[in-house]
Structure 1
Amino acid sequence: MKHARIAWGGAIHEAVEAGGALELRTPALRGRRLSFDEVVWLPPLAPTPRARTILALGLNYADHARELAFKPPEEPLAFAKGSGSLTGHRGFTLRPEGVRHMHYECELAVVIGREARKVGKDDAYDFIAGYTVANDYAIRDYLENWYRPNLRVKNRDTCTPIGPWLVDAGDVPDPMALRLSTHVDGQLTQQGSTADMVFDVPTLVEHFSSFMTLYPGDLILTGTPDGVVDCPIGSHVVCSIEGLGSLENTIIGKNPIQPIPAKR
């Protein structure tokens, strides 16, 4: 099943995809259907009782590492991101004034489903709730070292669009065999497959859970293949992953005015 979180009618709602529409799960409105165009799309992640951990992989595709003139890492290269970087499908991402290298990164995002500590690879899939699409923008003007991406490179407000759907893990038979692609203004600029990851999803779950506890709702962004290009103001960027959907996003040159939905 494909799950979404949306803002509509002054409230936030859980919804699922049904017949090319959004079917609300809010008890008082359960079953009501809305078109994709009449809602504000939010990151498809339920609130968590604790701060959400977001782990993002660097150089996790060998072709992307070569594109950047690096050897693939010998162990997962990861950094943490804050929840404030997340934004939803069809949202806006700010391009800072004066930067020259702002690159999209189409990534498979893994959503943890239950508490995971010292999980072995053979059991890793049992701890995953589902998958979604992420676009982990990198502003490489500020990069100090490929192995030390500082906060201004990755951890910026609006720079991690995610969605539109959270797809149940059971509906993704093999997350390590999904085609990825990115289009900028309708032109294909990136394509690859999750089969080309240096460290696959079970390895990542085993690695991170060996020294830290992963909790329900935590995210692992698994890296991007080669083909990243600069995105000027006005770019319409679409990141697609087979079976998970297409995440749309537009680059703007001033702070986006995002509607703030009322709480339920």
Structure 2
Amino acid sequence: MIKFVRFDAGAGAAYGIMEDDRIVEVKGNLFENWEKGEKEYALKDVRLLAPCEPTKVVGVGTNYKEVVAKKGELLPQEPVIFLKPSTSVIGPEQEIIIPKGVNEVNFEAELAVVIKKKAKDISPEEATEYILGYTCGNDITVKDFMEKGKPWTKAKCFDTFMPLGPCIVAGIDGANLAIRMYHNGNLVQDSNTSDMIFNVPLLISYISKIMTLNPGDVISTGTPPGKGVLKPGDVVEVEIENIGRLRNYAL
């Protein structure tokens, strides 16, 4: 298991490997050839950034069986997907900016998959070769616009609406991970990725048949049951087993 991070130690963004309470800088391209460098930093002395710079984030809606069961609906026959722009991405400890004039903003704990290499028209059996690793995601949504039947783009694509982090973990299986959300310290989502309707390889394959996935792109795989309303001053934390905890603040 390797924990990749993107960080700033004062000289701009760099990639590294997190080892306990220190970071070893990486030489080379994280998505091609890389090796450990000689520079090391104490974790407390650096600022963690969003762990990658995606050209796009592909979101997945209604992908947990328990969500469908609570609604009394039938399981979907194919994934429901949407896009979030690169401008929605922020990192750990950064602020989620709540738009003016909206009534209800929701948070959604999600397992996020980071793509390792260009993927187009691949099969589910090939998909694991295209995964760099997994990170925590928080799909922020303006519920007002969802309920009014407006396009999901308006509800989900505001700047700062896709926190990611704190690291990308390679070498783990994303199919059976505990996933939780804490809102101001209170547990509001508690599930496991084993409850997904469409697993990660199926999602990668499905999406790659529609659009090209580039290195660093992210697939946010849907959220389990549970919700809350995000208000200025709130703290939200996504916790995923073997990955860590992503904390952000609402402004």
TM-score of the two chains, using structure 1 as the length reference: 0.84
- The answer (yes or no) to whether the contact 1:61–1:72 under 8 Å persists in 2 is no
Indicate yes or no: 2:43 matched with 1:35: yes
**What do the CA deviations read for 1:138-172 (whole angstroms, capped 9, x no partner)?**
111111567x643221011011100110111xx20
Indicate yes or no: 2:125 matched with 1:126: no
Structure 2 distance, partners of 1:149, 1:242, is 33
Partner of 2:162: 160
Q: After the TM superposition, which parts of structure 1 deviate over 6 Å for at least 4 consecutive aligned residues?
A: none
Distance 1:89 1:34, change over 3 A: same
Structure 1 distance, partners of 2:191, 2:93, is 23
> What's the secondary structure of 1:30's corresponding residue?
strand
Partner of 2:32: none
Matches within 5 A, 1:55-74: 55-67=58-70, 70-74=73-77
Partner of 1:77: 80
Structure 2 distance, partners of 1:30, 1:65, is 50
Aligned CA RMSD, in angstroms, stands at 2.1
Deviation at residue 219 of structure 1 after TM alignment: 1.2
> What's the secondary structure of 1:142's corresponding residue?
helix
Partner of 1:197: 196
Distance 1:145 1:118, change over 3 A: farther
- The answer (yes or no) to whether the contact 2:21–2:42 under 8 Å persists in 1 is no
AA in 2 matched with 1:22:
I
- Paired residues, what number? 242
> What's the secondary structure of 2:250's corresponding residue?
strand
Partner of 1:21: 22
Partner of 2:31: none
Deviation at residue 182 of structure 1 after TM alignment: 0.7
Partner of 1:188: 187
Unaligned runs of 5+ in 1: 253-264
Distance 1:60 1:30, change over 3 A: same
